[in-house]
Structure 1
Amino acid sequence: MAQAPRIDVETRAGTVRGSLTEEQAERITDALGQQGVWFAAPRPDAVKAPRPVHVWDLVGDQPHQGRTVTGRAAVHLAHGHAALTRPLIFADGFDYGPSDLDAMWSRFDAGAPGFLDRLRAMGIDVILLGFDERQTHIQANAAVAAACVRRAIQERRGDLPLVVGGVSLGGMITRYALARLESEGFDHQTDKYFSYDTPHLGAWIPLVLQQLAYLDESLRPPSGGPGQAELIRSPAAQQLLWGWVEGEDYSGPVTTASRLRTDFLDDLRRVGWFPMRPYKLGLANGAGDGAGPDLPPGTPVFDLHHDPLQLTARIQPDRGELESLGAVKFGAPVWTSATSGVPAFDGAPGGRLDFWGRVADAIGLPVQEGFRSSCFVPTVSAIALARDPLQWQADLYKNLADLPKDETFLDAFCCDTGNSAHGEVSQVLIDWLLEQLAGW
Structure 2
Amino acid sequence: MSQEPRIDVETKAQGIEGTLTTDQIQRIADALGRQGVWFATPPARDGRAPRADLVWDLVGDRPHEGHTATGRAAVHLAEGHTALARPLIIADGFNYGPSDLDALWLHLNAPYQNNVPGLLDQLRMMGFDVVLLGFDERHTHLQANAAVAVTCVLRAIEERRGDDPLVVGGVSMGGMITRYALARMESERLDHQTDKYFSYDTPHLGAWIPLVLQQLAYLHESIQPAADGPGQAALIRSPAAQQLLWAWVENETYSGPVTTASSLRTDFLDDLRRVGWFPMRPYKLGLANGIGNGTGPGLPPGTPVFDLRHDSLQLTARIQPDLGELQNVGTVRFGGPVWTSATSQVAAFDSAPGGTLDSWGRVADAMGLPIDDALRAGCFVPVVSAVALARDPFQWQPELYRDLSDLPKDETFLDAFCCDLANSAHGSVSPTLVEWFLEQLAGW
Coarse TM-score class (shorter-chain normalised): over 0.9
**1:273 and 2:277 equivalent?**
yes
The alpha-carbon deviation at position 207 of structure 1 amounts to 0.3
2:132 is equivalent to residue 148 of structure 1: no
**1:150-174 deviation per Cα after TM superposition (whole angstroms, max 9, x unaligned):** 0000000011100000000000000
Would the aligned equivalents of 1:348 and 1:375 in 2 still touch at CA under 8 Å? yes
Preserved CA contact (<8 Å) 2:45 2:103: no
C-alpha change, 1:162 and 1:5, in structure 2 (3 Å) is same
Deviation (angstroms), 1:45: 3.9
Residues 318-374 of structure 1: per-residue CA shift (max 9 Å, x gap): 000000110011121110000000000000000000000000001100000000000
Contact 1:297/1:318, CA 8 A, preserved across alignment: yes
Shift of 1:307: 1.2
Contact 2:44 2:106 in 1 (8 A): no
Q: Note the 1:68-147 alignment, pairs <5 A.
A: 68-111=68-111, 112-147=116-151
Question: Counterpart amino acid of 2:236?
Answer: I
- Residues 101-120 of structure 1: CA distance to partner in whole angstroms, max 9, x if unpaired? 11111111122411001001
Q: Provide structure 2 residue ranges, at least 5 long, that are not aligned to the other structure.
A: none
Deviation at 1:42, TM superposition (A): 1.7
Contact (CA 8 Å) 1:11, 1:19: kept in 2 or not? Answer: no
Match of 1:344 in 2: 348
| 2:304 alignment partner AA | P
Q: 1:337 to 1:2 in 2, by over 3 A?
A: closer
* Equivalence map 1:25-424=2 (5 Å): 25-111=25-111, 112-424=116-428
Q: What's the C-alpha RMSD, in Å, of the aligned pairs?
A: 0.9
State the distance in 2 between where 1:251 and 1:19 align: 19
What TM-score, normalized to structure 2?
0.98
SS of the aligned residue for 1:286 comes to strand
Q: Percent identity?
A: 75
AA partner of residue 395 (structure 1)? E
Q: Which runs of 4+ in 1 moved over 4 A?
A: none
- Structure 1 residue runs of 5 or longer lacking an equivalent are none
8 Å CA contact retained: 2:243, 2:264 = yes
Q: Which amino acid aligns with 2:33?
A: G
Aligned AA (2:107): R
Instruction: Give how far 1:303 is off.
Output: 0.2
Cα distance between partner residues in 1 of 2:90 and 2:310: 47
How far 1:2 moved relative to its partner?
6.7
**Cα distance in 2 for residues equivalent to 1:277 and 1:21:** 62
CA contact (8 A) 2:109 2:118 kept: yes
Q: Matched residue of 1:346: which SS? A: helix
Output the CA distance in 2 between the equivalents of 1:2 and 1:82: 62
Give the whole-Å Cα distance in 2 for the aligned partners of 1:19 and 1:433. Answer: 55
- State how far apart, in whole Å, the 1-side matches of 2:43 and 2:178 are: 24
What is the CA distance between 1:46 and its match in structure 2? 4.7
In structure 1, the residue corresponding to 2:85 is in which secondary structure? coil
Bigger Cα displacement from structure 2, 2-11 vs 280-289: 2-11
Asked whether the 8 Å contact 1:47–1:102 carries over to 2, the reply is no
The letter of the residue matching 1:129 is: L
TM-score, length-normalised on structure 1?
0.99
Distance of 1:351 and 1:2 partners within structure 2 = 29
Measure how far apart 1:16 and its partner are: 1.6
Tell me, yes or no, if the aligned pair for 1:47 and 1:103 is still in contact at 8 Å. no
